[in-house]
Chains A and B, each alone.
Chain A
């Protein structure tokens, strides 16, 4: 019979097979990696209409988060402050800084400042700020050190995996309720211990069933 394939084709075949195999593995790995929210969502840092610096306000000036996001303790949403809140100070401070122009505009016209949303959950997720704060979960747990960000970016993936991790074992993320907005809090001992005590004392049983978050 005529020889169609050189002897080497055996090796080629084997190599091809190996390559295909490895390729498949790599593909799966790549898929898992690139679809993981840590990769997709974290680091999202849109340009805001006003270059508001959390580092300055929350960090250096030491404003409490609660001053602006005043509904966190009472409501599901941590409301973005009304322009009037900004103007409480900025009628005196930096009265005519050009960078505050949009704010003054909004205050005059009554048109809201179009802030760009950074931390976003799907519509079918019902996250409630007040519930987490009253449990003693700090802002840091989900938003990171906002007080060190000049312009805010998303630090945590905010995916279901992340939620479940904490809901299954809340202790590491629970602290005394009065310290939740103290982003730079450094516990004097193992935070898990502290958390565990609070969990026990408050009988915290974070839901891990569907309806806890999906309704």
Chain B
């Protein structure tokens, strides 16, 4: 694309980002997965899908049980009004961050290596936000009244929402984020959908893809509009990457509870979100890379770059931990001090320490290039990171609530099976959606990768690949 041309640094991409025979091969490689007739979708795919789908079913059951019986089916109590529900919410929202970051920010920074991963990252974002969205809705005692959280004109009650409440800010932040991410993702899909439309023989598919690709013919005019739209969306969603999790962090930062009432939260949460988001992308990509043989498109370069980001954000998070403890000590506030001592050595020490291990210690391995390039290491770290980040949210939310100001009202939280199955259910939902996406939509942005491919060809004339291509 035009953007690519004004991109000097790409001129010396070496080794090339992606390896593909030529444009056609690339198209082939991605499309056959979607079309699934040349290459039959393996049985193990359908089995996996069946499993994840049934886990999603459990989610449905749990939510039905919750709504029909009450929040009491969870372990929440007084003082721990929020526990796994909001933990899971923040966890999923956090994961959702990588997508936008990759699509928007890396795009604006002309990081061409994003092209191979942005499509799946964006998809992941959407699915993660969907999972996240479940919790704010169902954690309310009366979900059937949850629409009161939205500023609907109500001449009946003459009542408005409390716009001072961070929960209201959440409503706006999250819904905006989802909408923009969706548009972003879909816009990117249009050219590829058109490609699929043109490739398929089946009339039905032609109609479906045809409708979805909004009559994309690929005229220069189309491309120009596409470029504009893409740029605009990137511009819109860049601030969102920062805003969403900042606002989510306000849920805690604006309260009076020691352990929540902290100004460091916004940057701390954003860093954590990107941290976990990239880890999750990593997990999914590695699996996709193996199962769908995309080694040539998702190269070591991609993976290593992501590992670097994981290392950086991980370190930022670690720094935040340190700061929290320092401030707790430095403030001289007895409640603050107690909270952090209690966090590390109180009844929830195990949660805190698993968090420190996963988020603070393990990622440090990425200082070594060998580690950054070892598939198994990065796979495991991507997993531990996500575990660690879940614990981070749990530690922040639960341990701060268990022991606040009045020792008389201290309590302890025991999750019920409903808590666990609900969380498991959202994972099921997430995977189901992602599997469907991987099978029925182009997992890799064909057109964008072609862009990179083209540049490579154009740049390194001496390369045999290109010579053959230009013949």
Contacts and interface: CB of A to CB of B under 8 A. Distances in A.
A4 B207 contact: yes
Contacts of B214: 13
Contacts of B156: 35-37, 159-161
Interface string B326-357: 00000000000000000000000000000000
Contacts of B409: none
Given A10-B215, A32-B153, A5 B158 contact: no
Question: From DSSP, what is the main secondary structure of chain A's interface residues?
Answer: helix
A123 interface: no
Interface in B182-205: 197-198
B159 interface: yes
A41 to B, nearest CB: 11
Question: From DSSP, what is the main secondary structure of chain B's interface residues?
Answer: loop
A165 interface: yes
Interface in B147-186: 152-159
B318 interface: no
B147 to A, nearest CB: 11
Residue with the highest number of chain A CB atoms closer than 10 Å, among B157, B197, B217: B157
Residue with the highest number of chain B CB atoms closer than 10 Å, among A4, A9, A165: A4
B158 A164 contact: yes
Given A4-B197, A5-B215, A10-B215, A32 B155 contact: yes
Given A4-B197, A4-B206, A4-B207, A165 B158 contact: yes
Interface string A31-66: 010011100000000000000000000000000000
B215 A9 contact: yes
B258 interface: no
Contacts of B428: none
Interface string A1-24: 110110001100100000000000
A160 B159 contact: yes
Interface in A126-141: none
A98 B150 CA distance: 56
Interface string B100-112: 0000000000000
B210 interface: yes
A35 B154 CA distance: 9
B215 A161 contact: no
A36 B206 CA distance: 46
A40 B112 CA distance: 60
Interface in A112-154: none
Given A4-B206, A9-B215, A160 B197 contact: no
Nearest to A10: B215
B155 A4 contact: no
Contact of A160 (B157, B207, B215, B217): B157
Nearest to B198: A1
Nearest to B155: A161
Contacts of A9: 215
A2 B159 CA distance: 56
Contacts of B155: 32, 36, 161
B198 A5 contact: no
A215 to B, nearest CB: 18
A39 to B, nearest CB: 10
Contacts of A164: 158
Given A2-B206, A32-B153, A160-B157, 4 more contacts: A4-B210, A13-B215, A37-B156, A164-B158
21 contacts: A1-B217, A2-B206, A4-B210, A9-B215, A10-B215, A13-B214, A13-B215, A32-B153, A32-B154, A32-B155, A36-B155, A37-B156, A159-B156, A159-B157, A160-B156, A160-B157, A160-B158, A161-B156, A161-B158, A164-B158, A165-B158
Interface of A: 1-2, 4-5, 9-10, 13, 32, 35-37, 159-161, 164-165
Q: Kindly list the 10 A-B residue pairs having the minimum CB-CB distance in the complex, ordered from nearest.
A: A161-B158, A4-B210, A164-B158, A160-B157, A1-B198, A4-B206, A159-B156, A161-B156, A161-B155, A36-B156
